[in-house]
């Protein structure tokens, strides 16, 4: 019978360097030498500066995920969802509460519908020379985030756009409706660290922690977002809501926990956010840190119920994408039509 050692054990020659190094490590470890284990030595990790997930988020998020799965299973794009389309890519307006994968899966049908008048076959071929479409998501949105998504039609174009997003060459703006205490600033830029805590949740970390290791082997990464307040309780705050994403008058470098009280929910604040990096839940985390969590965003302390209404998702919309076309090199900008909560808020502030 062939005996195998447990996967966590390895055997070396007593004369090998590896054996000697292993022996030194074992003999000098606190457990082997009888010393008390210092928790600081074992968990010398950066401390998150944003709070852990609220207790309510677990049950609400589970319910939302189940609802989204059911909605996504029957969802199909329509021609009205298409923002732009050419030979190399298609831009669509993703609705709230639908998974990106389902949006991608329904693209072929809407492309075939759009191509009926141009002579393109149902397989995506013109004559005999055009290959079958190779569809890829160039950017992703959270389940409950609506707005502009780019889908590419070939592997080469997909690689170019992924590189553009990774290198932060794509300018993005988002619209969000927040509930909290109206901030004193009208424009601000926030820079912090970003990473997963030991429980797996995304958290805000100090800017000075960028590059430091986290539990699980990941590291703290940089995260920067510029914000504009567009309106407070329906009253306009910024002259010219053009989405230019100009640098904020104030600049916050996060190094300590926020002093904002997210239990104070007196105002509705419509904001425009321009992320300079592309971190998971970036805008949602920075809104939480600023004390103006997004309405419906229970994961990051946003209100679930507000003024007699229950919200089944957070109100965040990917408003625009500006980039260099991956094939033609032209500068292009796409605007996704606003959802009703955003257009109503903008109209009341006009």
> Using CA atoms, how far apart are residues 203 and 224, in angstroms rounded to an integer?
14
Residue extents of the structural domains in the chain: 59-113+133-239+248-348
Nearest to 292 by CA among 319, 320, 273, 311: 273
Q: Are 112 and 122 in contact (CB under 8 A)?
A: yes
Residue 124, pLDDT > 60, answer: no
Give Cβ neighbours of residue 184 (< 8 Å, ≥ 6 apart).
Answer: none
- Which three-class secondary structure state does DSSP give residue 94? strand
Highest mean pLDDT among 164-168, 190-194, 238-242: 190-194
pLDDT single digits (tens) 46-73: 999 999 999 999 999 999 999 999 999 9
Residue 211, pLDDT > 90, answer: yes
- Which three-class secondary structure state does DSSP give residue 10? coil
Residue 115, pLDDT > 80, answer: no
> Using CA atoms, how far apart are residues 205 and 268, in angstroms rounded to an integer?
27
Q: Residue 337: pLDDT band by 50, 70, 90 thresholds?
A: very high
Token reading at 187: 């424009």
Catalytic member of 86, 109, 116, 142: 142
H-helix or E-strand spanning residue 196: strand 187-196
Q: Are 170 and 192 in contact (CB under 8 A)?
A: no
Q: Does pTM top 0.85 for this prediction? A: no
Residue 348, pLDDT > 90, answer: no
pLDDT for the residue numbered 114: 78
pLDDT for the residue numbered 203: 97
Burial tier of 241 (Cβ tally within 10 Å: 0-12, 13-18, 19+): middle
Pairing of β 146-152 and β 316-324: parallel
- Which three-class secondary structure state does DSSP give residue 345? helix
Q: Residue 43: pLDDT band by 50, 70, 90 thresholds?
A: low
Q: Are 148 and 318 in contact (CB under 8 A)?
A: yes
Arithmetic mean of pLDDT, 139-168: 95
Residue 317, pLDDT > 90, answer: yes
pLDDT for the residue numbered 132: 67
* Cβ neighbours of 82 (radius 10 Å): 17
- Which three-class secondary structure state does DSSP give residue 109? helix
pLDDT for the residue numbered 266: 87
Angle at 122 between CA 119 and CA 126, to 5 degrees: 40
- Which three-class secondary structure state does DSSP give residue 271? strand
pLDDT for the residue numbered 31: 38
State the DSSP code for 120: -
- Which three-class secondary structure state does DSSP give residue 79? helix
May I ask the CATH architecture of the domain 59-113+133-239+248-348?
Answer: 2-Layer Sandwich (3.30)
> Using CA atoms, how far apart are residues 259 and 253, in angstroms rounded to an integer?
14
User: Is 144 known to be catalytic?
Assistant: no
pLDDT single digits (tens) 238-283: 654 444 445 546 999 999 999 888 777 789 999 999 999 999 999 9
Burial tier of 59 (Cβ tally within 10 Å: 0-12, 13-18, 19+): exposed
pLDDT for the residue numbered 256: 96
Nearest to 96 by CA among 71, 79, 61: 71
């Amino acid at each position: 019978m062939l005996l195998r050692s447990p996967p966590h054990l390895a055997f070396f020659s007593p004369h090998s360097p590896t054996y000697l190094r292993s022996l030194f490590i074992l003999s000098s470890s606190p457990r082997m030498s009888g010393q008390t284990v210092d928790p600081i030595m074992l968990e010398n990790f950066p401390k998150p500066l944003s709070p852990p997930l609220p207790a309510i988020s677990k049950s609400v998020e589970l319910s939302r995920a189940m609802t989204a799965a059911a909605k996504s299973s029957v969802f199909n794009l329509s021609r009205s969802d298409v923002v732009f389309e050419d030979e190399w890519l298609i831009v669509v307006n993703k609705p709230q509460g639908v998974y990106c994968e389902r949006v991608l899966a329904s693209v072929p049908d809407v492309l075939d519908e759009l191509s009926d008048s141009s002579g393109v076959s149902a397989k995506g071929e013109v004559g005999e020379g055009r290959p079958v479409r190779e569809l890829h998501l160039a950017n992703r949105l959270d389940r409950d985030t609506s707005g502009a998504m780019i889908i590419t039609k070939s592997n080469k174009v997909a690689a170019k756009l992924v590189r553009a997003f990774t290198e932060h060459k794509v300018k993005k703006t988002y619209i969000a409706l927040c509930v909290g205490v109206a901030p004193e600033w009208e424009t601000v830029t926030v820079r912090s660290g970003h990473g997963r805590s030991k429980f797996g949740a995304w958290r805000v970390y100090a800017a000075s922690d960028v590059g430091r290791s986290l539990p699980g082997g990941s590291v703290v990464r940089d995260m920067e977002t510029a914000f504009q307040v567009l309106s407070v309780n329906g009253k306009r705050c910024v002259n010219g809501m053009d989405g230019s994403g100009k640098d904020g008058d104030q600049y916050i470098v996060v190094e300590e926990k926020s002093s904002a009280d997210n239990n104070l929910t007196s105002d509705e604040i419509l904001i425009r956010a321009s992320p300079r990096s592309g971190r998971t839940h970036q805008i949602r985390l920075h809104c939480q840190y600023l004390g103006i969590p997004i309405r419906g965003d229970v994961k990051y302390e946003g209100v679930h119920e507000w003024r007699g209404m229950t919200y089944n998702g957070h109100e965040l919309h990917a408003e625009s994408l500006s980039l260099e076309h991956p094939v033609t090199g032209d500068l292009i900008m796409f605007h996704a039509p606003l959802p009703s909560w955003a257009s109503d808020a903008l109209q009341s502030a006009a």
